[in-house]
Amino acid sequence: MNNLLPHKYKAYSLHNFRSIEYMNRLSEQELFDIEVVGNVFPFKVSNYVLDELINWDNYQDDPIFRLTFPHRDMLVEEHYNLMAETLKNGAGKLEVRTVANQIRTELNPHPAGQMKLNVPVFNGQRLTGVQHKYRETVLFFPSSGQTCHSYCTFCFRWPQFTGIDELKFAMKETDLLVKYLQQHHEVTDLLFTGGDPMIMKARVFRKYLEPFLDGTHNTNIQTIRIGSKSLAYWPYKFTTDADADEMLGIFRELVDKGFNVSFMAHFSHPVELSTEAVQKAVERILATGTQIRTQSPVLRHINDNANLWSKMWRQQVNMNMIPYYMFVERDTGAQHYFEIPLEETWEIFRQAYRKVSGICRTVRGPSMSCTPGKVEVLGVQKIAGQKVFVLRFIQGRNPNWVGRPFFAKYDPEATWFNDLEPAFEKHFFFQHEMDKETEEAIESNNKYLFN
């Protein structure tokens, strides 16, 4: 495919996926499974992913197919059977939606206290498009960026795309955000997230950034981060799209204004780095003075292989990107399908880390973004005759927690922080403070949540 010519974006969702030319390779049962699971989890895939990333000669084992297409085992049997019977009985849209929502509420749609603990209140108003969990960093969810070029089947933000307003983070304007930041000068980093902010046209994205581009923001923001999967799912956004130059011009303007602009790129597999289109897009973003940092969870069926990770980190560095995080799959959605025991996850990280040079070892992990903060698994050791997990905070609700090692009892089946129990003491060192903060935050927010 000639990547110098314009490419027209096209996306397929549940209502038209059977029209994808490759679907004639799937059995009728596989197609039905997509409909069953796709009525619970959001499904959307771009023509770029279909044409350039998936190996259709071996689609059943293809990691990008599993990354974007619903699979039967992404629902537990009880939930699968409930939705399957609903569809087989010819239920209408309302009934299907009701059943889907019933299932969704059982899948921990907002892990780590996002809705109750992270949403700040400003002048008596909940800022529903903002999260402020860590002292220096605020997340902003622009309402125009709450979709993606394609959806990842593992995504912990899947409720953003289900159409349930009460499960969605979004804000239309930056006015309240800027006023909040003006009163919180401890915040140095502003992260545009979603969804995917790069789904927006450049002119729309610029509107959200106007206070920072025209110098009127009067905040202490020094770094502007852009969380995006667009390099993997639609790199033409930065090469041949009609507003590609305009979008890159915004990045350059921010850099010229003195901001550190960090593009937080989500790459889950080396094949996402392999096309001419993504290589050109990376070059063009870097040419604006923007940094690109890379991250992904480690996922069963997708990338649970140390050689794959070392290859991916090496390739990212060769493309002048900075490996940033390996995450643990969060406790939401189809976690049971993708999760890997923490010890195995650590071994994958350690084996991959050993195979690369120091220049690639900017990456951190495996990291769990749980309620208290980002907890890194440092390893499994025997201390005082007891086998334990060695952990530490990379980031915490209380900055004083950061960097402090602590220990959890060894559990070979543990896949998430909530599965762990403290070793050598009754409670983790932060637990009392965390419980108190949780109680106060819920009490404070409930009057705004339910009014």
**What does the pLDDT read at residue 111?**
73
Q: State residue 69 phi and psi, 5-degree precision.
A: -100, 135
**What does the pLDDT read at residue 166?**
47
Length of the chain counted residue by residue: 451
Block residue for tokens 């650590």: 346
Contact (CB, 8 A) for 209 and 245: no
Digits of tens for pLDDT over the chain (451 positions)?
445 567 899 999 999 999 999 999 999 999 999 999 999 999 999 999 999 999 999 999 999 999 999 999 999 999 999 999 999 999 999 999 999 999 999 988 777 577 678 889 888 888 988 999 999 999 999 988 889 999 999 887 666 666 555 444 445 678 899 999 999 999 999 999 988 999 999 999 999 999 999 999 999 999 999 999 999 999 999 999 999 999 999 999 999 999 999 999 999 999 999 999 999 999 999 999 999 999 999 999 999 999 999 999 999 999 999 999 999 999 988 999 999 999 999 999 999 999 999 999 999 999 999 999 999 999 999 999 999 999 999 999 999 999 999 999 999 999 999 999 999 999 999 999 998 877 776 666 555 444 4
Pull the structure tokens for residue 378.
């440092």
**What does the pLDDT read at residue 116?**
78
Which positions ≥6 away from 300 have C-beta within 8 Å?
Answer: 329, 337, 338, 339, 340
Q: Which amino acid is at 89?
A: N
Q: What is the pLDDT of residues 67-88, one digit of tens each?
A: 999 999 999 999 999 999 999 9
> Which residue ranges form the domains of the chain, and what is each CATH number?
11-104 (no CATH), 111-449 (3.20.20.70)
Q: Which of 282, 222, 278 is nearest to 255 (CA)?
A: 222
**Distance between CA 267 and CA 276 in Å, rounded?**
16
Q: Strand 405-409 vs strand 189-192: parallel, antiparallel, or unpaired?
A: unpaired
Which positions ≥6 away from 354 have C-beta within 8 Å?
Answer: none
Pull the structure tokens for residue 289.
């003075």
**What does the pLDDT read at residue 164?**
53
Contact (CB, 8 A) for 37 and 84: no
